């Protein structure tokens, strides 16, 4: 089993934009630029805390959103406005294209599951193909819901402790994974926000958040909500952590 921490998990800026549009319950062609831009920048500030070197694509889209927002709020001559295309058109085109591919992938995935349930394979029909759990998308709760919740954690930490404390916590991710896994299996479940109670340093928050994502990504934990945007709860997954987790992580980092 391979363990890694990277922003590929977040799928990209168009995935975030599509999530924000759905959150506002509007059609993709009617993107509320002002609100979406402000919220996009809030999510971007959280991603920068996780890995500032890996948000280049997100910054490009942020620049585009700010440009579109500026063009839409600036007063202009009526004749000029008629000549200029709606600045949202290119963004909407890209979103529709992304949504088409994403919906097609989801449909094929669901169709595959339906066929597996309807026509089970005979023993020995095909050789078993191992499933790499870290390559599977996080289900249950939308990934961006977790980012939003983590953003609230960071805001509360700033209000409580300010930004002057620059001490860094260099605890390895796998240590946080082990602690959280033990808590979930002991208590049965835990509020996502409660996991961060008692922590002081921002680097500790980031490490714990990445640990949660890794636990979910590898099937060691799952996140649930009673309804959209409600309290997020974490529960233990079906797969227990491997006993040699420390060695696996150290080996991977050494090979990187």
Structural contact between residues 98 and 14, judged by C-beta atoms closer than 8 angstroms? yes
Which residues make Cβ contacts (< 8 Å) with residue 210, sequence separation at least 6? 5, 50, 173, 176
Structure confidence at residue 221 (pLDDT): 92
| pLDDT above 60: residue 78 | no
State both tokens at 242: 């491997």
- Burial of 145-164, coded b for 16+ CB within 10 Å and e otherwise, reads bbbbbbbebbeebeeeeeee
Q: Which of 70-74, 128-132, 240-244 has the lowest mean pLDDT?
A: 128-132
Structure confidence at residue 121 (pLDDT): 52
Structural contact between residues 173 and 217, judged by C-beta atoms closer than 8 angstroms? no
| pLDDT above 80: residue 75 | no
DSSP readout, 13-61? HHHHHHHHHHHTT--GGG--HHHHHHHHHHHHHHHHHH-GGG-HHHHHH
Per cent of the chain over pLDDT 90 is: 23
| pLDDT above 90: residue 113 | no
DSSP readout, 89-126? HHHHHHHHHHHHHHHHHHHHHHHHHHHHHHSPPPTTSS
Which residues make Cβ contacts (< 8 Å) with residue 83, sequence separation at least 6? none
| pLDDT above 90: residue 38 | yes
pLDDT in tens, 140-181: 577 889 999 999 888 887 777 665 555 667 788 889 999 999
| pLDDT above 80: residue 112 | no
Over range 73-95, report the average pLDDT: 68
| pLDDT above 90: residue 201 | no
Distances (CA, A) of 83 to 29, 66, 73, 80: 20, 21, 17, 5
Residue-range domain boundaries for the chain: 1-129, 136-256
137 falls in which pLDDT band (50, 70, 90)? very low
Structure confidence at residue 181 (pLDDT): 93
| pLDDT above 90: residue 8 | no
| pLDDT above 90: residue 227 | no
Q: Which of 9-18, 145-154, 217-226 has the lowest mean pLDDT?
A: 9-18
Distances (CA, A) of 240 to 39, 180, 211: 36, 12, 14
DSSP readout, 183-203? HHHHHS-EETGGGGTT---HH
* Terminal CA-CA length for the chain: 15
Identify the CATH homologous superfamily for domain 136-256. Answer: Structural maintenance of chromosome 1. Chain E (1.10.10.580)
Q: Which of 45-49, 111-115, 182-186, 210-214 has the lowest mean pLDDT?
A: 111-115
Structure confidence at residue 65 (pLDDT): 92
Structural contact between residues 222 and 151, judged by C-beta atoms closer than 8 angstroms? no
């Amino acid at each position: 089993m391979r363990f890694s921490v990277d922003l590929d998990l977040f799928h990209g800026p168009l995935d975030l934009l599509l999530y924000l549009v759905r959150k506002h319950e509007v059609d993709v062609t009617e993107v509320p630029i002002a609100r979406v831009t402000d919220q996009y920048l809030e999510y971007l500030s959280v991603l920068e805390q996780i890995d500032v070197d890996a948000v280049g694509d997100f910054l490009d889209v942020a620049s585009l959103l700010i440009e579109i927002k500026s063009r839409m709020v600036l007063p202009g001559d009526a004749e000029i406005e008629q000549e200029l295309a709606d600045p949202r058109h290119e963004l909407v085109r890209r979103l529709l294209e992304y949504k088409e591919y994403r919906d097609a992938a989801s449909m094929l995935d669901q169709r595959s599951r339906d066929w597996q349930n309807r026509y089970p394979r005979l023993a020995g029909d095909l050789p078993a193909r191992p499933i790499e759990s870290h390559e599977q998308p996080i289900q249950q709760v939308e990934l961006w819901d977790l980012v939003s919740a983590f953003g609230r954690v960071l805001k509360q930490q700033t209000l409580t402790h300010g930004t002057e404390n620059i001490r860094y916590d260099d605890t390895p991710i796998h240590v946080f994974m082990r602690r959280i896994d033990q808590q979930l299996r002991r208590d049965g479940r835990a509020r996502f926000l409660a996991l961060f109670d008692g922590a002081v340093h921002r680097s500790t928050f980031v490490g714990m958040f990445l640990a949660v994502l890794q636990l979910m990504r590898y099937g060691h934990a799952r996140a649930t909500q009673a309804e959209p945007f409600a309290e997020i709860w974490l529960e233990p997954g079906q797969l227990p952590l491997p006993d040699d987790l420390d060695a696996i992580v150290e080996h991977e980092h050494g090979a990187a």
